[in-house]
Structure 1
Amino acid sequence: MSVVLDTPVAVRRTAMDLLARREHGRVELTRKLRQRGASDELIEQALDRLTEDGLLSEARYLESFINHRSNAGYGPARIREELGQRGLNRGDIDQALRECGIDWSARLQDVWQRKFAGLRPQDPRSRAQQTRFLAYRGYPMDMIGRLLSGRSLDD
């Protein structure tokens, strides 16, 4: 049985149910409510009120998303791209990534250790394979190069 989202109370309740599961960004929450049949006017009113009440926060969403994806082994470039695709402001994304306090060098080292058992590439083919994997995960090429050549990541 689907709920009809034709009143402000119904839209707010559905939005709060979604937020109770996990943090959402405003664009993402708007899309989900629209898919459930809510009008744009009711959505805007409900989301404005949730923001005023502190229940909807882009900053909390950014922090939550960055922590979740970095714990899954993804680097800053990949996370930045995924957040951009979710309709968040590029400046807010960059600020959140700067302030997150994540040691990207340690995350890169951990991902590489788990995937390649800490074995440095012995030939150009294996180097290219490891480089492609780590770049796809969203780590900067300069960090990948230092890691694979055995230099300190803190240089």
Structure 2
Amino acid sequence: MKKQKPDPLTLPELRRAAVDLLSRRDHSRQELHRKLLPKAASVDELNQLLDELAERRWQSDSRFAETFVNSRINRGHGPVRVKHDLRSKGVASDDIQDAFADQDTDWNEKALDVARRKFGLHADLSDMKLKAKVARFLAYRGFTTGQIQFAMARISTGEDTTFTD
């Protein structure tokens, strides 16, 4: 027996579902569209609702991008990965650039901090396997080649920037 698709939600029910999602956390317009489309009676009705939510500033891709960037930086992700993740969520390039412009993150120091937390303050990077592992880890986290090289050089030399006077 084939599972029957539930009846589409009315516009007030769809609005309630959207507000419920937005009350938990910010969502990009594309995320809301993807989550609400199976419940909507039509694509036009859903787009009209999303336009209304944006007009009321209940949904904002720029606000979503800003909070997303902050949360990913706190998780130790690099700029390449954060930008990629935002693009995959349908955020416009202008909103991504604005969210990054509001940041005063030193990405070199962030890469160093992430590497130190994972591999220790003074890892022995003369071991080529460990050196490759550190580089792969930082690349996976979304740091650029220059940021990775900076972090690895600082770990190798044992320079500690966290306790400078």
Q: Do Structure 1 and Structure 2 share a fold, with TM-score over 0.5?
A: yes
The residue identity in structure 1 corresponding to 2:139 is: A
State the match for 1:22 in structure 2.
25
SS at match of 2:57: coil
Match of residue 74 from structure 2: 71
Correspondences of 1:3-152 after superposition (within 5 Å): 5-118=8-121, 119-150=123-154
1:11/1:42 contact within 8 Å kept: no
Corresponding letter in the other structure for 1:132: R
Cα distance change on mapping 1:122 and 1:38 into 2, 3 Å: farther
Bigger shift: residues 106-115 or 13-22? 106-115
What SS does structure 1 have at the residue aligned with 2:111? helix
Query: Helix, strand or coil for the counterpart of 1:88?
Result: coil
Shift of 1:92: 2.4
Structure 1, unmatched stretches of 5+, are: none
Displacement of 1:40: 0.9
Q: CA deviation at 1:36?
A: 2.8
Decide whether the 8 Å contact of 2:77 with 2:143 is kept in 1.
yes
Q: Sequence identity of aligned pairs in percent?
A: 37
* Deviation at residue 38 of structure 1 after TM alignment: 4.2
Partners of 1:3 and 1:33 in 2: CA distance: 13
Taking structure 1 as the reference length, the TM-score comes to: 0.87
Large movers: runs of 4+ above 4 Å: 2-5
Deviates more, 1:27-36 or 1:2-11: 2-11
Change (3 A) 1:11 1:134: same
| Structure 2 portions without partners, runs of 5+ | 160-165
Q: 2:113 corresponds to which letter in structure 1?
A: D
Alignment check: 8 A CA contact 2:80 2:142 kept: yes
Asked which structure has the greater CA Rg, the reply is: 2
